[in-house]
Amino acid sequence: MAFKPKSAAETKAKDLGLALARIAEGEGMPAHIGVDRLRQASPRLTPLAIGQMVRKERTTVEATLAERGLALVDYADQGPGRGMEFVIDAAG
């Protein structure tokens, strides 16, 4: 199989998944993670980028969490200025 370089979107989606995993592992399960907490952990992830990664690269985010034994249970996006929240739990 030939090497396929990751796109910038895939790399950012992996970064998002890793940031969610680190926070969830530190807070216990299930973890409710808001966008503000996520930005503290990874300032490169802007709210716009986070929303795009979940919509366009959700499988990459979920695969990254699965590598750590975690799962994205729920994601809520209440629109600009209202916030986003992720619920992460141990994979069942």
Model confidence over 22-81: pLDDT tens digits? Answer: 999 998 889 999 888 988 888 888 888 888 888 899 999 999 999 999 999 999 887 655
- Domains plus CATH for the chain? 8-90 (1.10.10)
43 burial type by CB count under 10 A (0-12 exposed, 13-18 middle, 19+ buried): exposed
Tell me which residue of 31, 39, 22, 36 sits closest to 73, measured CA to CA.
31
Question: What pLDDT is recorded for position 5?
Answer: 64
Tell me which residue of 80, 1, 69 sits closest to 29, measured CA to CA.
69
28 vs 82 pLDDT, higher one: 28
Question: What pLDDT is recorded for position 32?
Answer: 93
At 3-34, the pLDDT tens digits run 566 778 888 899 999 999 999 999 888 999 98
